[in-house]
Structure 1
């Protein structure tokens, strides 16, 4: 029988695990609550695209779970978080029948911690977009307002957590895919230092080290506790993060050293507009930090924003082209334009047009930026920016018009990738692609940890995130700050969104 006053949606993963350990609720009762919640919310939100309820029920009926998160239900993301037998289509029609042949190290570790994985969340095709509207599975909606996007590429996970389906869900971040949905859905989202969380066992890196896996959560303590489960548990990865001697959960109670020296900017590194609400979110945070006794200075990162964007998009093109080639080996035939979305096909074509020389030169921009940021953090403990430059876009805002679709198809058929690469048109495309989300890619290229913290709401009640970056290996400092902010009047309560009231 449920503990008096138990309301599943109000608990985070740490809280649910504590109730189960104390035998105030059973694993099965919690699981059935999660299933009921998913079935009730998902038709409106389209966050979960593959479910395995029967297997989950059999697991809890068979034997009690063990570990710090014993009995806590969670969802994994439909890319790089393979779960044996579950859908692993990466949001694409070309892989819509593909099922994972084995668990990823990430999923295996979470299962070992006692979590009960019960489904897979929606992603844009190959996790390429900052919104979640794959043609194959349809758009995921935002629980704060179903007319707007929850962001991407971890949009399905963000919508699931923000609506109370599960307390945490798997996410990964190759250019902002944890932080953007966190900002748009009023959640906490931490991208760890490069090499901190596992990539294996079938890969040693994702997106040349730009991408890493973690979760989206309602609370800072859940993020810290899951990082303790994942961190440093893999020896086969291509990268190794700086050692962290203490558990991340110990950072939750540590007071921040004072005064920290903190830099901030509200200006886009691309010189593009930034919404006033996004600026306001940062400036309110700055005032709060100053009131706590910290030194805060307006100072932009010492990097070339357009060069960062170009090097990031070069990675984008190359990774898409490589993935399409890998898929051809998987399915035993050529991938055609009919197999993938038009934008994906164009990105792949650009990837095939880039030379190895160009790719290497752009990758060197990453290392240069990392060197500059390392020096920057000798002076500044933290760097604060808006998480996004613009508010949540309406669902369907980025769908190609028929004219755009035909134009891209024509460019693709003409194999005009090399021509595009030599024109100013590509720079314009890069700027337009990233103008809504220009702040997040830097940390992916440099390998730094960065988080989005829910610290502001618009007049219409939509959440707005603030990004904070730290030096490599300083997730502990980010967690300390986030924990302090979580106790402040700035923190947005995710339980106030319309779906949490249902």
Structure 2
């Protein structure tokens, strides 16, 4: 069974169809793996093993992922009748009444949900160390962070508990843990996946739903399931030419690829390891026949971006707390929150509606300035993280000056593409001298996940990803 668990989700589904393993055997093996290793990793904060086993009797024949186990992030991804925590004690005991549309699609495809994964409080930082659940540890080195905010999902996939887990990304929260844990993590185009029925959008459109996986084909196949406009959504992404799973086998052609190793914003210091990861990836892409040059959007260096991005996020945090208070029937007091979110909520509450709209309008202009670079290029290559792998505790919860000061440079290569709504994928192409993964990021124009999947699959064939943290 261990050999089957090491397969990706597409491979596990094929093993079930061919009768090499039953759904029950596969699910029971995944549960045993979680029980064996999650004491040290702390990835699953709400197991639902008995319910998952009971649901096996209701699986429909012919579904593409019949019996394949999966974990879902405990932020978004609502499940009917299950607790919803978002990494916060403010939601203790709260259950939701309806599945998120994306969860419904996973169930309809035959996936069996084993539990909900750890996340920082409200997903507002890039390390998964919530006070309510404790830290998730990186399976490559237990002293290191698995990233955030989808750190629980990423650590579980990297350790081999499941082949794929759901995630979300408002400033890098798919790509950063994918990079930290040596995985594939694609942030889709804004509007590609529905936040319904509970929400129309996340973080004023900057947050999108996705997943972390070990292979490009898993990323493509599962995104095909969970994406697509649902009636009532506020907007939709540009239509794709066809299923992303088909793009895995398509050649990308000769692409015009620009790369950036050092962030053009003056507040982001040069870091040698992310730069080395980009240098190696650029050389690989050139060997694959692409036209590669050192070039990037001039707007990436605009110093005002971080101010406006932070203002929009803080306003959304304040609004989320108001919503939670109404949901649970009792206002959220700042004293219930971790210090980081206390500060963000206070900042959000000080801003007016006019302030918020003006910030959104600034981002509208930024989006157009960024997009102009893609008129002459197909893809941007950049670091995923602006800093090297970091240990647990690197973002001290009680020292906000240090914590926020370290976060800005870390997300400098990811958050701009949440603001622009473009698709971006992190690939595991580099290791530090200590063996810790470092991700590199490929960014395409809005709506071009198809191009990213083609290119990522070509890279994976030329440089197969190594997953040495599998347990």
Superposed pair shares fold, TM > 0.5: yes
Q: 1:394 to 1:195 in 2, by over 3 A?
A: same
Q: Distance in 1 between matches of 2:279 and 2:177?
A: 21
Q: Distance in 1 between matches of 2:110 and 2:403?
A: 45
List runs of 5+ in structure 1 lacking aligned partners: 409-424
List runs of 5+ in structure 2 lacking aligned partners: none
Match of 1:415 in 2: none
Correspondence 1:90 to 2:90: no
Query: What does the per-residue CA deviation read over 1:341-392, in whole Å, with 9 as the maximum and x for residues that have no partner?
Result: 1211111000011122222222122211221232211101001110001122
CA shift, 1:200, in A, is 0.5
Match of 1:448 in 2: 422
Q: 1:36 to 1:302 in 2, by over 3 A?
A: same
Correspondence 1:375 to 2:372: yes
Q: Distance in 2 between matches of 1:355 and 1:432?
A: 27
Correspondence 1:333 to 2:307: no
> Which residues in structure 2 correspond to 1:243-258 (within 5 Å)?
243-258=239-254
Q: Distance in 1 between matches of 2:336 and 2:102?
A: 29
Correspondence 1:155 to 2:151: yes
CA shift, 1:71, in A, is 0.7
Correspondence 1:307 to 2:304: yes
Correspondence 1:396 to 2:393: yes
Query: What does the per-residue CA deviation read over 1:59-114, in whole Å, with 9 as the maximum and x for residues that have no partner?
Result: 21355554111110001111110011222111101112112221000100111111
> Which residues in structure 2 correspond to 1:464-475 (within 5 Å)?
464-475=438-449
Correspondence 1:479 to 2:453: yes
SS in 2 for 1:348: helix
SS in 2 for 1:147: strand
SS in 2 for 1:277: helix
Q: Distance in 2 between matches of 1:77 and 1:232?
A: 20
Match of 2:341 in 1: 344
235-244 or 270-279, larger mean C-alpha shift: 270-279
**What is the TM-score of this pair, normalised by structure 1?**
0.90
2:129 touches 2:135 (CA, 8 Å); kept in 1? yes
CA shift, 1:430, in A, is 6.0
Match of 1:14 in 2: 10
Query: What does the per-residue CA deviation read over 1:283-327, in whole Å, with 9 as the maximum and x for residues that have no partner?
Result: 111111112221111112221432221121011110111111112
Correspondence 1:206 to 2:202: yes
SS in 2 for 1:338: helix
2:5 touches 2:26 (CA, 8 Å); kept in 1? no
> Which residues in structure 2 correspond to 1:219-258 (within 5 Å)?
219-258=215-254
SS in 1 for 2:33: helix
Residue of structure 2 aligned with 1:493, choices 458, 466, 470 = 466
CA shift, 1:26, in A, is 0.2
- Report which of the two structures shows the higher radius of gyration computed on alpha carbons: 1
SS in 2 for 1:365: helix
Residue of structure 2 aligned with 1:179, choices 170, 175, 181 = 175
Correspondence 1:105 to 2:131: no
SS in 2 for 1:306: coil
Q: Pairwise CA RMSD of aligned residues?
A: 1.7
Residue of structure 1 aligned with 2:263, choices 251, 259, 268 = 268
Residue of structure 2 aligned with 1:53, choices 49, 52, 55 = 49
Match of 1:435 in 2: 409
Q: Distance in 2 between matches of 1:134 and 1:305?
A: 32
Correspondence 1:358 to 2:317: no
Q: Distance in 2 between matches of 1:492 and 1:459?
A: 17
Q: Distance in 2 between matches of 1:166 and 1:48?
A: 11
CA shift, 1:230, in A, is 1.8
Q: Distance in 2 between matches of 1:433 and 1:158?
A: 19
CA shift, 1:159, in A, is 0.4
CA shift, 1:137, in A, is 0.4
Q: Distance in 2 between matches of 1:354 and 1:373?
A: 26
Q: Distance in 1 between matches of 2:335 and 2:173?
A: 26
2:383 touches 2:441 (CA, 8 Å); kept in 1? yes
Match of 1:36 in 2: 32
Q: 1:281 to 1:293 in 2, by over 3 A?
A: same
1:66 touches 1:112 (CA, 8 Å); kept in 2? no
SS in 2 for 1:484: helix
Q: Distance in 2 between matches of 1:433 and 1:328?
A: 28
Match of 1:418 in 2: none
Q: Distance in 1 between matches of 2:146 and 2:280?
A: 23
Q: Distance in 1 between matches of 2:442 and 2:231?
A: 28
CA shift, 1:192, in A, is 0.5
CA shift, 1:19, in A, is 0.6
Q: Distance in 1 between matches of 2:333 and 2:244?
A: 46
SS in 1 for 2:426: strand
Number of aligned residues = 469
Residue of structure 2 aligned with 1:458, choices 432, 451, 460 = 432
1:196 touches 1:240 (CA, 8 Å); kept in 2? yes
CA shift, 1:269, in A, is 4.1
Q: Distance in 2 between matches of 1:36 and 1:470?
A: 39
Correspondence 1:387 to 2:360: no
Q: Distance in 1 between matches of 2:229 and 2:374?
A: 27
1:172 touches 1:178 (CA, 8 Å); kept in 2? yes
CA shift, 1:454, in A, is 0.5
Match of 2:275 in 1: 279
> Which residues in structure 2 correspond to 1:60-71 (within 5 Å)?
60-64=56-60, 66-71=62-67
2:149 touches 2:173 (CA, 8 Å); kept in 1? yes
